[in-house]
Amino acid sequence: MSLAIVLKDQGKLAEAETAFRRVVELLPNIGGAHKDLGNILNAQGKSADAEAAYRRALTLQPDMPDAINNLALLIVQRGGATESMPWFRRHAELVYGKPGNFGREAPSPHKIQHDQEQRDYLKTSGAAAQQFHLEEGARMNGRALNPDPSNGEIGAKWKNTSPQIAVLDNLLTDEALERIRQFCYRSSMWHKSYPNGYIGAMPEHGFACPLLAQIADELRETYPDIIGGHPLLRWWAFKYTSQRKGINVHADFAAVNVNFWITRDEANLDPQSGGLVIWDKPAPLDWGFAQYNNPNAGDTIRKYLADTGAKEITVPHKANRAVIFDSDLFHQTDRINFKEGYLNRRINITLLYGRREAASN
């Protein structure tokens, strides 16, 4: 085992794989050995073999958080977002659900404030203020999305215009909107803190439920000319402090970005803001991820936008409004001026479909 780890640390992946396979032969009933083999296979891009190794590891030892999370990520990468969600949920239960286990990050002041507000809300709503809880987030018997109001015109315009931006109001049915709100209000999955005063819920934190998968699938079915065959590869939700700056200017590593807001309109003190600012210029294809998706790269990005004469497009916040756009386009959170209070926090949900290079072909 030690030799295999040394070889991996030295970057000798093929030799490390041979060593890890030998370990598995010697210790066939040790889940950790199969997990380690899965990691080295995954590092070499041998996804199918890695998935098989993780599944074997979990057959032997079902409660290994790292193996569960890595398996879920591999399932997503092969286009199985819906299949991955129970695995992400299980990961969250293991990492955050044990008494005294608050996760892997020290809480920030704005996260501590949020968590207290959530506990108070749950008490007043008659729910138990548990340290860790995930709502069921069950699928709906009927549709979660409203039909395309344009009868296909939105998709046709998407294919023939630049920049590619579509704004859709009344995205979800009333029932689906309320259900996803309750999932976000009542689930203690907000584990990621960001310096600008907002917090995030990622799949591995528990932001994974059947209703979210239904929404993602129905988006593809309802807007095939926009999303097409792009798989859902990443998703998250963000909550914001009432009057602080949100996400700085950046672009995302995807083909299509679907962003929608679920906070009620009356929470927003300025109906002309609180949404998203999008520039009509994409990140250059020769820029690496650290250049176009780095919270500290704002000055460099803004200089590029100024030099290229980029124009801003502002989409104000509105409950149940979706903004669908080419993920390569630079964008940032608009100024936020919301009421105080737990239910007034601005919440956006983001779904990323496809890979960046797929959109450029």
Continuous H helices in the chain: 2-9, 13-26, 31-43, 47-60, 65-77, 81-96, 109-124, 153-160, 174-186, 210-222, 224-227, 289-292, 298-307, 356-359
Other Cβ atoms less than 10 A from the Cβ of 137: the count is 23
Number of domains in the chain: 2
Mean pLDDT of the chain: 91
pTM of the model: 0.93
According to DSSP, residue 145 is labeled B
> Are 223 and 92 within one domain?
no
| Whether pLDDT at 256 is above 90 | yes
**Looking at the domain assignment, is residue 104 inside a domain?**
no
pLDDT at 246: 81
Q: What is the C-alpha separation between 122 and 40, in angstroms, rounded?
A: 43
CA distances in angstroms from 242 to 67, 142, 228, listed in the order given = 37, 34, 36
Q: How far is CA 119 from the centre of its chain?
A: 24
Instruction: Provide the pLDDT for residue 187.
Output: 95
Residue 99 has what pLDDT?
Answer: 61
Question: Looking at residue 4, what is its pLDDT?
Answer: 55
Q: What is the pLDDT of residue 14?
A: 82
* Alpha carbon 228 to its chain's center: 20
Residues 296 and 203 in one domain: yes
Q: What is the pLDDT of residue 2?
A: 57
Q: Output the six-digit token pair for 269.
A: 């003190």
Residues in the chain: 361
8-29: average pLDDT: 82
| β partners of residue 238 | 200, 348
Q: Final residue of a domain: which of 96, 122, 155?
A: 96
d(CA 192, CA 139): 26
CB 277 within 8 A of CB 332: yes
Q: What pLDDT score does 31 carry?
A: 95
Does residue 104 have a pLDDT over 90? Answer: no
- Output the pLDDT for position 20: 83
For the segment 155-174, the average pLDDT, to the nearest whole number, is 95
Q: What is the pLDDT of residues 265-281, one digit of tens each?
A: 999 999 999 999 999 99
- pLDDT over 60 at 247, yes or no: yes
Residue 242: the pLDDT is 81
DSSP type of residue 287: S
The answer to whether residue 233 sits within a structural domain is yes
Quick: pLDDT tens for 178-237. Answer: 999 999 999 999 999 988 889 999 999 999 999 999 999 999 999 999 998 999 999 999
Domain membership flag for residue 298: yes
d(CA 256, CA 325): 6
Rounded distance between C-alpha atoms, residue 302 and residue 323, angstroms? 22
Contact predicate 262/349, CB 8 Å: yes
Q: Look at residue 9 in the predicted model and tell me its pLDDT.
A: 64
Q: How confident is the model at residue 130 (pLDDT cuts 50, 70, 90)?
A: low
Number of helices followed by number of strands (H, E) in the chain = 14, 10
As beta bridge partners, residue 239 has: 199, 347
Burial class (CB in 10 A: 0-12, 13-18, 19+), 195: exposed
Over residues 294-342, the pLDDT tens digits come to 878 889 999 999 999 999 999 999 999 999 999 999 999 999 999 999 9
Model confidence band, residue 127 (pLDDT cutoffs 50, 70, 90): low
**103 belongs to a structural domain:** no
User: 179 versus 3: which is more confidently predicted?
Assistant: 179
Q: How does pLDDT run across 50-86, given as a tens digit for each residue?
A: 999 999 999 999 999 999 999 999 999 999 999 999 9
pLDDT at 13: 73
CATH number of the domain that 27 lies in? 1.25.40.10
The answer to whether position 116 is within a domain reads: yes
186 shares its domain with 283? yes
Any long-range contacts for 28-32 (C-beta under 8 Å, 24+ apart)?
Answer: 29/60, 30/60, 31/56, 31/57, 31/58, 31/59, 31/60, 31/61, 31/64, 31/67, 32/57, 32/61, 32/64
Torsion of Cα atoms, 109 then 110 then 112 then 116, to 10°:
140
Query: For residue 233, what are the domain limits?
Result: 109-359
In a domain, 300, yes or no: yes
Domain identity same for 145 and 194: yes
> Same domain for 148 and 202?
yes
